[in-house]
Structure 1
Amino acid sequence: MSNAEAGADGQYIRVLSEQELVDFGFEVLIDGRPARLELDERGGVRILDDNGSAINSLAPPVAIDADGRDLRSSYEIVGNIVRQRLDDVPTTFPVTIMARLECNFQFCTVMYSRNETRQLTNSGLVAALIAAACGPVGWACGIATAAMVQTANSAVAQGRCVGIRRTTLPSLVTWPVIENCRQ
Structure 2
Amino acid sequence: MLDVAFGLPLHPLIVHATVVVVPLATLAVLLAGLWPRFRDWAGWLPLVLAAAAVVLTPLSTQSGESLQRRVPSTELVREHVALGDSLTPWVLLLGVAAVATTVVWRRERVLAHGAATDPLGRLGDHVSGWTGTGALPRWLVVVTAVLAVVAGVGTAQQVVRIGHSGAQAAWSQAAATTPTRHGGGDGDGR
Normalising by structure 2, report the TM-score.
Answer: 0.26
Normalising by structure 1, report the TM-score.
Answer: 0.27
| Greater Cα radius of gyration, structure 1 or 2 | 2
